Amino acid sequence: MTKDPVPLKAVHHLEFWVGNAKQAAYFYRTAFGFNQIAYSGLETGNREKASYVLAQGRVRLVFSTPLSGNNGISSHIKQHGDGVKDVAFHVDDAKACYNACIERGAQSAAEPTELNDKNGSVTHAAICTYGDTIHSFISHNDYNGPFLPGFIESKVEGDSVGLRFVDHVVGNVELGKMNHWANFYADIMGFTQLQHFSDEEISTEYSALMSKVMESDNGRIKFPINEPAEGKKKSQIDEYLE
């Protein structure tokens, strides 16, 4: 059996960059029953962004909003609107996973760094993927805090609707880029192709798309990569990207 070059345990969290993190956290608590578990912001010494962490089952969502109008988060929201910035992975060795990806041609988003507070330490690193999205690698070491260093406990209970884990995360890419990014996950991260859907299989009377579903070595992480296909009207993928 071939050794997994980048052994990923699970999705650690999804971070959304949004215009109003407090409102987004409230919506996901009341509509989807998430519990708020942690917070980071000015009160914790973070002058860049305010972040609320929500949890349900093994799902962790982070909603972050900029604390000034001239940082990268503000620019990202201005260009894209509210959306996912980071699909983060839980790993045993963040530095080793990062180095393996860089050696295979990935672009760095953040070099390995050890983060510490009174609850222990966490190692963090990140690479770039499609669009402006990144993948963080997080190894917890001996950490026993509510989320990550720099966050404090902030408990607000929600009424769970039974969400258990992140089933898959879809990446919508430009026409002609599906194979490029499918190959990225195969060549850089050791994923394999689980399924391939043609435009004839995913279409309506007016629009269509094509998709390749990539899966991590342990089968716990699935990434459908979608690109637009020709139809009577503009593909929903084109509409999303615009």
The domains of the chain are located at: 10-156, 171-241
**In a 3-state reduction of DSSP, which class is residue 43?**
helix
Mention every residue, 6+ apart, whose C-beta is less than 8 A from residue 130: 171, 173, 177, 181, 184, 225
10-156 and 171-241 have identical folds? yes
Structure confidence by residue, pLDDT tens digits, 18-63: 999 999 999 999 999 999 999 999 999 999 999 999 999 999 999 9
Q: Read off φ and ψ for residue 179, nearest 5 degrees.
A: -65, -35
Largest CA distance in the chain: 59
Residue 239's contacts (CB-CB under 8 Å, 6 or more residues apart) are: none
Classify domain 10-156 at the CATH superfamily level: 2,3-Dihydroxybiphenyl 1,2-Dioxygenase, domain 1 (3.10.180.10)
What does the pLDDT read at residue 3?
A: 73
Chain-centre distance for alpha carbon 39? 18
Query: 165 near 59, Cβ under 8 Å?
Result: yes
pLDDT of 173-211, one tens digit each? 998 999 999 999 999 999 999 977 665 555 555 566 789
Cα–Cα distance, 220 to 131 (Å, whole number): 23
CA gap 133, 11 in Å, rounded: 15
Percent of the chain having pLDDT more than 90? 81
In single-letter form, the type of residue at position 236 comes to Q
Kindly report the CA angle at 74 between 182 and 52, in degrees rounded to 5?
Answer: 80
From 3.40.50.720, 3.30.565.10, 3.10.180.10, 3.40.640.10, which CATH number describes the 171-241 domain?
Answer: 3.10.180.10
